[in-house]
Structure 1
Amino acid sequence: MFQRLLTICAVAFLFTACETASNVAGDSVSGSSSSSATAAGTAAATAAATAAGTASSSESSSTTATQMSDAEKLAQVGNTVYFGFDSSELAGEAQATLDRQAAFLNVNPTIVVIIEGHADERGTREYNLALGDRRAVAVRDYLLAKGLNAARVRTVSYGKERPAVSGSNEESWAKNRRAATVLN
């Protein structure tokens, strides 16, 4: 009996909430199309609010759009390099990726980046933090050797704390042994 009463109250509450949203959105549609009209009205109200918010903050939106396009460009160039097990040595493929990053960053002198060093789950937390740091520093040093200003490149190590892929197999570990370049 209690479950039926609770179910009836929940349905009544849901129906009331839908009607309130419909009235707020300015819909005067009744009958069986009420729920679709509510959804359409809510979507229209959300779109209008979004458009108003975009118009009032166009300066910050253009800055965000610029940052997003820079981040997308960096991702196209290649923003991640991978390392061998227990290594901070840059392989040939990693050097090629970093050459493209350096060219991109030299053409865009206002961009400041953070190099995030990562490790797989094997090893202690402390050891992996140190290994992630060595990887980030190796990438930073390579970029500096390609002409980047040191003030534009920071490093941070996350060790094994932020895996790109979860799993305890060689494929997952290989994807987690990395250094990622992100916009500051």
Structure 2
Amino acid sequence: MAKLKTSLIIATAALAIAACSKKRPEVLPPAPVQNTGDTGPTGPVTPTDGAITPGSDADFKRSVTSNTVLFGLDQYDIDPAARTILDNQAQWLARYPNVRITIEGHCDERGTREYNLALGDRRANAAKNYLAARGVSATRMTTISYGSERPVATGSDDEAYAQNRRAVTIVLG
């Protein structure tokens, strides 16, 4: 009887531990789609003459100082350079009140996967909160953290690390 109780307790503990473990996804989500036109009833509408559609991601990238805010090592605070960039983005977003955006948080390759995902989330939310404080509706913005999974610069040096510590604003349409 005691052996049965002990076996049941061990089996229950093993099941509880197995149920709590989180497995890494086998496949990462696809990269964001670059929107080059307005969204119509049947999907994106791309101009046939190659012109940039007002309110599109291409228009955003052309019109703002930058779609990317950079951060210091292990930092997620909005510094004066980031404020200038985000103020410029907020002005553009004010002209297009129906445009939705996603803010991606990224990190360099140093740190654990979990740490980098959490830091990327804090970076994306810092940018989102700043834009919200400048009048951009929070309902128009979503955030996602990719941690170190999508570096913009390859290499393991300070220059590459600095480029990968970022939050990127993507216009969805």
Structure 1: gaps of 5 or more residues: 1-56
Is structure 2 residue 45 aligned with structure 1 residue 60?
yes
Higher relative contact order (CA 8 A, sep 6+): 2
Contact 2:107/2:166 (8 A) holds in 1: yes
Q: Give the whole-Å Cα distance in 1 for the aligned partners of 2:80 and 2:47.
A: 37
Where is the helix percentage greater, Structure 1 or Structure 2?
1
The unaligned stretches of length 5 or more in structure 2 are: 1-41
**Counterpart amino acid of residue 76 in structure 2:** S
Q: What is residue 104 of structure 1 aligned with on the other side? A: 92
The alpha-carbon deviation at position 66 of structure 1 amounts to 5.8
How large is the Cα RMSD of the aligned pairs?
A: 2.3
2:121 to 108, 112, 133: 133
Give, in angstroms, the shift of residue 92 of structure 1: 0.5
SS at match of 2:153: coil
Partner residue, 2:28: none
Runs of 4+ in 1 over 2 A off after TM superposition: 59-70
Q: Is structure 2 residue 109 aligned with structure 1 residue 121? A: yes
Aligned length: 127
**Equivalent residue in structure 2 for 1:174, among 141, 162, 171:** 162
Give the distance between the partners of 1:147 and 1:60, measured in 2 at CA: 28
Query: Could you say which residue in structure 1 is the equivalent of 2:8?
Result: none
Query: Percent identity among equivalent residues?
Result: 47
Shift of 1:74: 1.8
Q: TM-score scaled to structure 1, two decimals?
A: 0.64
Equivalences for 1:3-152 in 2 at 5 Å? 60-62=45-47, 70-76=56-62, 77=64, 78-152=66-140
Q: Is the alpha carbon distance of 1:148 and 1:68 closer, same or farther for their aligned partners in structure 2, counting shifts above 3 Å?
A: closer
Please state how far the C-alpha of 1:153 moved relative to its aligned partner.
0.5
